[in-house]
Amino acid sequence: MTFWTYRRRDNLVGYLFVAPALLGSLAFVLIPLGMVGWYSLNEWNVLGGTFEFIGIENYQQLLGDEKLRDSLVATAWFAAGLVVLNLSLALLLAVLLNQKLRGTTLFRTLFFSPVLVSLVAWTLVWQLMLQPEGSVNGLLGFFGIDGPNWLRGDTTAMVSVIVVQVIKNVGLNMVLFLAALQGVPAPLYEAAKIDGAGAWTRFRRITIPLISPTILLTSIITIVGSLQVFAQIAVLTQGGPGTSTTVLIYYLYQQAFQFHHFGYGATISVLLFVIVAALTLLQWQMRRKWVLHES
């Protein structure tokens, strides 16, 4: 028997095919992930060039960090606002655009196009529009409304960041919902109509259950995405006014890259990792309860 049996040769070819992807994720995901864990156990003074093992001290600091608590609250507000607004708007648009009417293709394109725009360019333009003398207030002024200084008010800054992000990305969820809606078999609606179900009942009893896998998918994507919001904050508010829009990842950036606390920054990213993992796991568990076909 030779060493290179067909089986071994096949395996080798298989391994060679996955090798580039595997090496890539090893080098750029797994090793950095492990290193973040290691950094979080150390005090790393970049300027002084010292790197000192301090065990769980960074994690103890995490517990008593008031600014971290503020940023978790800001993150929760942002995530909640984004998910509720994004998903409901996306579903509404999808339902409207799922009608067989003239011009829907145009509107689909219009709502989807912001997804393709560069994020920073998008945010910079909105920054100009949201200035006190910007076009948003100009438009409001047209209707006799005296608009606020959007990016400098505690509540309006957060609302602005959420809305800018929703308009940017709502098209993506809309397309996913549209695809799901078109997969709902028409005979079901006909049968329901014959049974005397109204539009709302048909939507609640047929549409929602049948597109529930997509609702799960979009909500996971949107929640995880909301925890990663950075460029928008960096451009629009720099975490202000006060610390009202300092979300977790912006706080992480400040600690690691601005205040040079790399070890503590790594600790915050471990926390972020745990939060994302926990949320995803929770949603995955809950799918049995509310996603059709899963129980």
Partner 1 sequence: MSRLLALICTALVALTACSGSSAQSGPKTLRMTVWTANEAHLKLLNEIASEYKASHPDVTEIKFDSIPADGYTTTLTTQIAGGNAPDLAWILEESAPDFVSSGALAPIKAKVEKADELVPSATKLWEKDGELYAYPFSTSPFGLFVNTDLVKDLPATWEQAVAASAGKNLVLPDFKYQNWAVLSAIWRGWGASAWSEDGRQCGFSSQEMKDAMTFVHKAIFTDKAIPGPGTTVDFFAGDAAMAVSQISRAGALKDAKFGWTLLPLPQGPKGDYAVIGQAGVGVLKRSKNAEAAADFLGFFTNAANSAKLAQFFPPVRQSLLNADTLAKSNPLIKPEQLQSVVIDGISKGVVKPSHQGQEELNQTIRAALDPLWKPDANVSQVLDGVCAKIKPLLERS
Using CB under 8 A as the criterion, which residues of the chain lie in contact with partner 1 when the complex forms? Answer: 27, 31, 35, 38-39, 44-52, 131-133, 149, 151-152, 238-243, 246, 254, 257-260, 262
- For partner 1, which is the closer residue by CB, 126 or 177? 126
* DSSP of 37-73: HHHTTEEEETTTTEEEE-TTHHHHHHHH-HHHHHHHH
CB of 240 to partner 1, least distance (A): 6
Per-residue exposure over 240-264, b if at least 16 CB sit within 10 Å of its own CB, e if not? ebebbbbbbbbbbbbbbeeeebbbb
Task: State which residue, 86 or 243, has the beta carbon closest to partner 1.
Answer: 243
Least Cα distance to 42 among 61, 63, 19 occurs for 61
Question: To the nearest whole angstrom, how small is the minimum distance from the Cβ of residue 39 to partner 1?
Answer: 7
- For 261, the 3-state DSSP assignment is strand
Question: CA nearest 227: which of 28, 29, 77?
Answer: 77
Provide the minimum distance between the beta carbon of 31 and partner 1 in the complex, in angstroms, as a whole number. Answer: 7
Q: Tell me, what amino acid is at 190? A: E
Between 46 and 282, whose beta carbon lies closer to partner 1? 46
Q: How many CB atoms neighbour CB 197 within 10 A?
A: 16
C-beta of 81 vs 239, nearer to partner 1: 239
Nearer to partner 1, 106 or 120 (CB): 120
Whole-number minimum distance, CB 157 to partner 1, in Å? 10
Q: How far is the CB of 112 from partner 1 (least distance, A)?
A: 31
